[in-house]
Chains A and B, each alone.
Chain A
Amino acid sequence: MPEYIEKVKFDDEGYLENHEHWSEDLAKTMAEEEGIYDLTSRHLEVIYAIRGEFAEKGEAPTLRRLTKVHGFPTKELYQLFPGGPGKKAARIAGVKKPHGCI
């Protein structure tokens, strides 16, 4: 395992414990674990939007926010992060798992 991954800690569900330990290299490795082998600049746009909002609010944006506020069409988010864009993209972005709602 590369050194930059050994140093960082993950929680039980594989989310980064400290979002400041994130790097694009780490994102690439995590993306591969999620079955995304080509992390494009478009993926990174989504990831930086998530990181920006997390830094500001302490919480990852919902899918609706990614669509309505950040302007990524839902369909495209599902293409970029197949299966579950909300949770997958948050994991790759190195932020805490989105809470969902109550």
Chain B
Amino acid sequence: MNKKQIIILGGGTAGNIFSHKLVKSLNTDEWEITVIDRSPIHYYQPGFLFIPFGIYRPEDVVKNKSELLHPNVNQVFSEIDRIVPQENNVYLENGSALKYDYLIISTGVDIAPDEVEGMKGDLWGLQVFDFYSFDGAVSLQMAMKNFKGGNLVVHVTEMPIKCPVAPLEFAFLSDYYFKRNGYRPEVNIHYVTPLPEAFTKPEAAKVFGNFLLNKNIKIHTDFNIAAVDNENKNIISWDEREIPFDLLVTVPTNMGSEFIGRSGMGDELNLMPTNQATLKARNFDNIFVAGDATDIPTSKAGSVIHYQAEVIVQNLISKIKNNPLNAKFDGHTNCFIETGNEKAILIDFDYENDPTRGRFPIHGLGPMSLLKETRINHLGKMAFKWLYWNRIIKGKDIPFSS
């Protein structure tokens, strides 16, 4: 008997989780599961934040995908060229086709610096950096080390971005870094955002706004970048404001994978239109979408995927049995935000509920304070790496589940 095929596109955080969960939930005599990814290396992306400050070394954030994916899934390492949903085929770069009965798209988002004029200009890699890619984070470490004064501009190009708190954390950690190495009086830190305040959620925005103020970081809001002027070392907004930089650390536009656009399936950011409750692709009946690749209104974060995965597995099984899709994702997100000084904040919210103050019982780690800067939250953030490698991407429970 020919086995039925489930193909998982992308073997990142989500792809890994599904490789483990599906092997456990489906009869592997009946189902064959395949993961396709362009690269054999898995990056622990939350660790990219810490590399520029020398807190993590590059080797702390890389592992081989083949060690992490479940051994009972097929691993194909190739660039995905396109999906032809009418044929139920995925085409690879070399032209070969793989047929699927069900597809899970989890190809994430990546930086697209070419979207802004001049961003990838002469100063890219010299005075203009990103920390959302491994290469960016690693080369920024030297630039931070050599920076002895002037304007450090931490900049967000356009929303949505994955881990929307990471640029704030970068600003906070920069303050701490330059205080420790003694250059803080010479370094002006600017935080530049297209949002009207420091963060998307008003309650949390207030808290972060105060942190910026207390750390003497100047915030520039509603800044929609039009161009990076490499000659005069400015960033320029569409309403013609200019901010000079000596070191620009930018989060470029985050876009879904290009093949989604090539397949004619995505929106203007190559994100997949996805039902926010069932996580099924809105226009396709045998396709589910997980993680950063969706267009749903929740944060793009590893912890979110952990909550999504169970919903997708249940709904996939319902779909296979021709039952209604009853499992619903509630938008649950939580994350730790490093604030410097070896402290951190924890926020937790979903589609309905904004982040609130309070305490949050975390199994094994004790109660963590929400929206309050504490040392225990910092330890939680640091423990996240272990949780990520050992539990999250293996599809196991994590102590945050509530």
Q: Is A78 touching B158 in the complex (CB atoms < 8 A)? A: no
The size bracket of the interface on B is 20 to 34
Chain A residues 45 to 102 lying within 8 A of chain B, measured CB to CB, are 63-65, 68-69, 74-75, 78, 82-84, 99-102
**CB–CB B239/A100 < 8 A:** no
Q: Could you tell me the distance in whole angstroms from the C-beta of B387 to the nearest C-beta in chain A?
A: 23
When the two chains form their complex, are residues A102 and B160 in contact, meaning their CB atoms are under 8 A apart? yes
Cβ B164 vs Cβ A83 within 8 A? no
Q: Mark B366-380, 1 if CB is under 8 A from A, else 0.
A: 000000000000000
B196: chain A residues at CB < 8 Å are 100
Q: Which residues of B contact A102 (CB under 8 A)?
A: 160, 164, 200-201, 297-299, 333
Rounded to whole angstroms, the CA-CA distance of A82 and B299 in the bound complex is 30
Q: B92-128: which have CB < 8 Å to A?
A: none
Q: Which A residues are in CB contact (< 8 Å) with B226?
A: 74-75
User: Which residue of B is nearest A63, CB measured?
Assistant: B224
Please state if A100 and B195 are interface contacts (CB–CB under 8 Å).
Answer: yes
Counting CB contacts under 8 A, is B238 at the interface?
yes
| Interchain CA distance A100-B224 in the complex, whole Å | 13
Closest chain B residue to A79, Cβ basis: B238
Closest CB-CB distance, B199 to chain A, in whole Å?
9
> Which residues of B (116-160) have their CB < 8 Å from a CB of A?
158-160
A69 to B266 CA separation, bound complex (whole angstroms): 12
Min distance, Cβ A92 to any Cβ of chain B, angstroms: 17
The 8 Å CB contact of B200, one of A64, A69, A82, A100, is A100
- Distance (whole angstroms) from the CB of B221 to the closest CB of chain A: 11
Task: Please tell me if the beta carbons of A78 and B159 are within 8 angstroms of each other in the complex.
Answer: no
Are A78 and B238 in contact (CB-based, < 8 A)?
yes
- B203 interface residue (CB < 8 Å to A): no
- What separation, in Å, do the CA atoms of A59 and B337 have in the docked complex? 30
Assuming A63-B224, A84-B222, is B159 touching A101 (CB within 8 A)?
yes
Q: Are A101 and B268 in contact, CB atoms less than 8 angstroms apart?
A: no
Question: Which residues from chain B contact A64 at a C-beta distance below 8 Å?
Answer: 158, 268-269
Q: Please report the C-alpha to C-alpha distance between residue A83 and residue B195 in the assembled complex, in whole angstroms.
A: 13
Known A-B contacts A65-B268, A101-B297; the reply to A74 vs B238 at CB < 8 A is yes
Residues of B contacting A75 in the complex (Cβ-Cβ under 8 angstroms): 226, 238
Nearest to A69 among chain B residues (CB) is: B268
Which residues of chain A come closer than 8 Å to B298, judged between CB atoms? 102
B238 and A99: CB pair below 8 A?
A: no
Q: How far is the CB of B50 from chain A (nearest CB, A)?
A: 24
| Contact residues of A between 2 and 55, Cβ < 8 Å to B | none
How far does the alpha carbon of A26 sit from the alpha carbon of B200 in the complex, in Å? 30
Chain A residues with CB under 8 Å of B239's CB are 78, 82-84
Measured CB to CB, the nearest residue on chain A to B268 is: A68
Alpha-carbon gap, A75 to B239, bound state (A):
9
> How far is it, in angstroms, between the C-alpha of A14 and the C-alpha of B112 when the chains are bound?
35
Q: How close is B28's CB to chain A, nearest CB, in angstroms?
A: 37
Contact with A along B36-69 (1 / 0, CB 8 A): 0000000000000000000000000000000000
Contacts of B267 in A (CB 8 A): 65
User: Which chain A residue shows the least CB distance to B296?
Assistant: A102
Q: Which residue of B lies closest to A70 (CB)?
A: B268
Chain B proximity of A87: nearest CB distance (Å) = 8
A78 to B298, CA, bound (A): 28
A interface footprint on B268-302 (CB within 8 Å = 1, 0 otherwise):
11000000000000000000000000000111000
Q: Which residue of A lies closest to B159 (CB)?
A: A101
A83 CA to B224 CA, complexed, in Å? 10
Q: Which residues, 336 to 387 on B, are CB-close (under 8 Å) to A? A: none
CB distance from B114 to the nearest CB of A (A): 14
Residue-wise, chain B 233-252 has the 8 Å CB interface mask toward A (1 for contact) of: 00000110000000000000
Report the separation of the CA atoms of residues A100 and B298 in the bound assembly, to the nearest whole angstrom.
11
Cβ distance B335 to chain A, nearest Cβ, rounded Å: 12
30 contacts between A and B (CB under 8 A): A64-B158, A64-B268, A64-B269, A65-B268, A68-B268, A69-B268, A74-B224, A74-B226, A74-B238, A75-B226, A75-B238, A78-B238, A82-B239, A83-B239, A84-B222, A84-B239, A99-B297, A100-B159, A100-B195, A100-B196, A100-B200, A101-B159, A101-B160, A101-B297, A102-B160, A102-B164, A102-B200, A102-B298, A102-B299, A102-B333
| The 10 residue pairs across chains A and B that have the minimum distance between CB atoms | A101-B160, A101-B159, A68-B268, A78-B238, A102-B200, A102-B299, A65-B268, A64-B268, A69-B268, A102-B297
A binding-site residues for B, Cβ under 8 Å:
63-65, 68-69, 74-75, 78, 82-84, 99-102
Beyond A100-B196, A101-B164, 11 additional pairs, beta carbon < 8 A: A64-B268, A75-B238, A84-B222, A84-B239, A100-B195, A101-B159, A101-B297, A102-B200, A102-B201, A102-B297, A102-B333
